[in-house]
Structure 1
Amino acid sequence: MAHPIIKALRHHKTAVVLITLEIALTLAIIANALLIIGSHVSLMQVPTGLPDNELVWMKTTGIDEQMPAAERASRSAAVLAALRTQPGVRGAAMVNGLPLSKIGSWTMCLFRQPEKKNEVCQVNMYAGTPGYLDVLGVRIAKGRPFTADDVTDYDFGGHNQGNPPPVIVSRSLADQMWPEEDPLGKPVYLDVEGLHVSHVIGVTEHLANASLQTGVPNDLNILVPARALPVGSFVVRTAPGAANKVASALPTVLAKVDSNRVVSGVGTLKDSVHEYFRDDRALVWLLVAVISSLLLLTGLGVFGLTGFWVQERVRYIGIRRALGATEADIRHYFQLENLAIVSFGVALGAVTAVCLNFWLLVRYELPRLPLLPLLGGALLLFAIGQLAVLQPARRACRVPPVAATRAA
């Protein structure tokens, strides 16, 4: 059976080459598209580590950043006291940012020793007023949470000299800074000169960063207490199911307590996380549309080519039928012919896919192409090819031997 197939393919070189190239290009694009889809879907599955459904944030403006820390703390405390009295509110605090949210974030470099280049950068800092760990629902895996004695007036904007308060670090940060060591009690320098030194008192379980970056662990962060924040958002912990109702009431509460503040945004953490991944979802759906279109075009190409070949080889089909070939024999012939063409295309496409992935890896830091997307794309093409050839092959099976012979 192999010899007639090869002979037929050589007789239609141009069509075979075009279909083979189309399949190769389709596989190269599909394999890398599946890789990108997989990486973004995996990214969207990153948990915050907090009870997203119970947290509501409110971002405000109208406070002078140069305001004395005592006055700023007093005004924020009044707002927090009012928020805690609202129905459905279990706690309130002020924070500089939240996981997987675009409401604000601070990043910095930390040093194990001063005057040495042993820093860990792109570290996300979470700062909050007293009690914010309980409000957020941060889980401590080792060590202890903050106490009232840990809170200082240290200015995280860098204007106040002195030692910062003790800190809590994520497990990922602890593993990077002190691999295979106990991080509790370790000194942490916030500057290369060693003027701002703190100590680790706890390690958190998973807590996602405010933003995700390529090549950086998604939970590389440090937590610090603050008496007041120059900028930040109010966040409240609500009873289950009360988040939306509480969110709608927050601006009214703020207006009654501090009319100088202006609400610039309010929402639930769940909605913020959903919004954070909006571009990722759009990219995934775009790539799904591209893959679907390529598979459809490839299927139509195979369908049209096979239909043309069936029409062109009516005499050959009729002779084989007259010599005793069954309908299954005719169908299997065209399916094997299609399998040979797709195999050539897949082999060429695999090489093209690896080359394309290498270019994407160098240009856009995309991960290396694993075997699974390549196999997935190849299986899709084999399946599409067999489905596309099925109807023309069945039509060939229905050609009467006498009619086919006369068609010559």
Structure 2
Amino acid sequence: MDIRPILSTLRRHKTASALIVLEIALSCAIICNAVFLISTRLERMDRPSGLAESELVQLRYAGLGQDGGDAAARVREDLAALRAIPGVESASLVNQIPYGNAVWQGSVELEADQPNPTLNAALYLGDEQLLETFGLQLVAGRDFSDDEFIDFSALQAPEAEISIPAVILARGTAEQLFPGEDAVGNVIYSWGDTPIRVVGVVDRLIRPNDEGGPAQVPLSMILPVRVTQGSYVLRTDPARRTEVIEAAKAELDRLNPSRILLDDGTFEELRDAYYRADKSMAWLLVAVCIGLLVVTALGIVGLASFWVQQRTKQIGVRRALGATRGQVLRYFQVENFLLATVGIVIGMMLAYAINMSLMERYELARLPAVYLPIGALTLWLLGQVSVFGPARRAASVPPAVATRSV
């Protein structure tokens, strides 16, 4: 089809053409970035934690182990009672759990006198059953031995000469510290000036606040330190989680009725609550995309309908001179395709400009190029579908009626 008549017509309707191009450009730019943000939110929510989340429940109390008695002895009594509950496979007291707002973390160096840390990693402190309770998978090395565990109170005592003998790293942490080599057997410096030997590597262990290091790699490690403050974590059959939570609360209340329960629930509930804002944002962006597509479609329909009405006589003359319905239909479709193409090209440039601004202000990742052709294809299809109705009405006008119109 010769597009020169189409371009000539568009030059005579510069304002209307510019408006539709601008509308398509803005829609393209916003939708490309919105879809990218939606995908990053979904990817964040789908990231594995490395834990057996479907089997875990947690209970957190205020003032745990600080009621005037031997804190370590009371924690041992609590854990013995929890582990004896029917359905409980293992139980531990850990200083922090995933999907919390705070995080214990420490700097990690490879040399004792290193001026700047190599990285900062989340610190998980727990007892002999921590790996089993969390359901972590060792990919290298071994679990801690019984003689490697120390009490947090002894470690923090004035002039204490006790040092942490071993550490288990998450795979991402090990790869950052020892790229291209086996981390097991190497030493790091993280708690004081004494080297800590790496004895194992787990596949994955998410940070409590789910914030990653470079490339969103979760940087975490586990130290064999028994704590007296934190959350009780119990591993059980997924079908018995509610039953186990109630039994655990009853047992702990029996041992110490004065303690105050701050929080309890399954890890899946923790995950859902932690990502609630991400879900809301994703749905909001979906609504924005749908709204923009609807507004763009209505704009195309309105403009095409207006042009059909304005060009009724011109269409009738073309029909009288032998133009078929298909040719009239294609005329409006090609016209819309040209406008959409100009708008999409401008929209792609705007999309990258918006993305660069977001990168500078909010540390967002670079917009992958794949989103641009997806956005372009979506708007091309939207334009063709939207213009089809008005174009079909134009093509169905009989020549005799068209030529009598004023």
Instruction: Say if 2:355 is the partner of 1:354.
Output: no
Match of 2:290 in 1: 292
For 1:277 and 1:329, locate their aligned partners in 2 and report how far apart those are by CA, in whole Å: 53
Match of 2:185 in 1: 185
Aligned length: 402
User: Which letter maps to 2:179?
Assistant: P
For 1:124 and 1:66, locate their aligned partners in 2 and report how far apart those are by CA, in whole Å: 28
* 2:253 pairs with one of 230, 252, 255: 255
Residues 82-118 of structure 1 show CA distances to partners (whole Å, capped at 9, x for unaligned) of 112222211111111223x217531111111122135
For 2:84 and 2:184, locate their aligned partners in 1 and report how far apart those are by CA, in whole Å: 36
CA contact (8 A) 1:330 1:397 kept: yes
- For residues 161-310 of structure 1, what are the structure 2 equivalents within 5 Å? 161=160, 162-191=162-191, 194-213=192-211, 215-216=213-214, 217-227=216-226, 229-310=227-308
CA contact (8 A) 1:105 1:210 kept: yes
Post-superposition offset of 1:182: 2.4
CA contact (8 A) 2:169 2:200 kept: yes
Post-superposition offset of 1:225: 1.7
Q: 1:38 to 1:156 in 2, by over 3 A?
A: farther
CA contact (8 A) 2:87 2:240 kept: yes
Match of 2:29 in 1: 28
For 2:154 and 2:299, locate their aligned partners in 1 and report how far apart those are by CA, in whole Å: 63
- For residues 386-401 of structure 1, what are the structure 2 equivalents within 5 Å? 386-401=384-399
| Secondary structure of residue in 1 paired with 2:239 | coil
Structure 1 length-normalised TM? 0.94
Q: 1:384 to 1:278 in 2, by over 3 A?
A: same
Match of 1:10 in 2: 11
For 2:73 and 2:377, locate their aligned partners in 1 and report how far apart those are by CA, in whole Å: 65
For 1:149 and 1:17, locate their aligned partners in 2 and report how far apart those are by CA, in whole Å: 76
CA contact (8 A) 1:167 1:201 kept: yes
User: Which letter maps to 2:17?
Assistant: V
CA contact (8 A) 2:65 2:75 kept: no
CA contact (8 A) 1:130 1:226 kept: no
For 2:169 and 2:301, locate their aligned partners in 1 and report how far apart those are by CA, in whole Å: 60
| Secondary structure of residue in 1 paired with 2:370 | helix
User: Which letter maps to 2:45?
Assistant: M
CA contact (8 A) 1:154 1:164 kept: no
Match of 1:151 in 2: 149
For 1:214 and 1:397, locate their aligned partners in 2 and report how far apart those are by CA, in whole Å: 58
| Secondary structure of residue in 1 paired with 2:97 | coil
For 1:119 and 1:67, locate their aligned partners in 2 and report how far apart those are by CA, in whole Å: 38
Structure 2 length-normalised TM? 0.94
For 1:364 and 1:347, locate their aligned partners in 2 and report how far apart those are by CA, in whole Å: 26
| Secondary structure of residue in 1 paired with 2:281 | helix
Match of 1:43 in 2: 44
Moved more, 157-166 or 87-96: 157-166
For 2:340 and 2:30, locate their aligned partners in 1 and report how far apart those are by CA, in whole Å: 16
For 2:103 and 2:141, locate their aligned partners in 1 and report how far apart those are by CA, in whole Å: 25
User: Which letter maps to 1:183?
Assistant: A
Instruction: Say if 2:89 is the partner of 1:87.
Output: no
Q: 1:29 to 1:254 in 2, by over 3 A?
A: same
Post-superposition offset of 1:121: 3.1
CA contact (8 A) 2:108 2:189 kept: yes
| Secondary structure of residue in 1 paired with 2:90 | strand
Post-superposition offset of 1:329: 0.9
Could you list the runs of 5+ residues in structure 2 that have no partner in the other structure? none
Post-superposition offset of 1:214: 5.7
Match of 2:330 in 1: 332
CA contact (8 A) 1:50 1:207 kept: yes
CA contact (8 A) 2:97 2:231 kept: no
Post-superposition offset of 1:140: 1.0
CA contact (8 A) 1:135 1:236 kept: yes
Match of 1:373 in 2: 371
For 1:95 and 1:104, locate their aligned partners in 2 and report how far apart those are by CA, in whole Å: 14
Could you list the runs of 5+ residues in structure 1 that have no partner in the other structure? none
Taking every aligned residue pair, what percent have the same amino acid on both sides?
Answer: 38
| Secondary structure of residue in 1 paired with 2:184 | coil
| Secondary structure of residue in 1 paired with 2:118 | strand
| Secondary structure of residue in 1 paired with 2:57 | strand
Residues 158-200 of structure 1 show CA distances to partners (whole Å, capped at 9, x for unaligned) of 5553311311111111111122232222222125xx5243211
| Secondary structure of residue in 2 paired with 1:90 | strand
Q: 1:33 to 1:103 in 2, by over 3 A?
A: closer
For 1:51 and 1:153, locate their aligned partners in 2 and report how far apart those are by CA, in whole Å: 26
For 1:133 and 1:73, locate their aligned partners in 2 and report how far apart those are by CA, in whole Å: 20
Match of 1:383 in 2: 381
Q: 1:240 to 1:74 in 2, by over 3 A?
A: same
Q: 1:264 to 1:66 in 2, by over 3 A?
A: closer
For 1:207 and 1:166, locate their aligned partners in 2 and report how far apart those are by CA, in whole Å: 17
CA RMSD between the two structures: 1.9
For 2:41 and 2:190, locate their aligned partners in 1 and report how far apart those are by CA, in whole Å: 33
For 1:224 and 1:87, locate their aligned partners in 2 and report how far apart those are by CA, in whole Å: 29
| Secondary structure of residue in 2 paired with 1:119 | coil
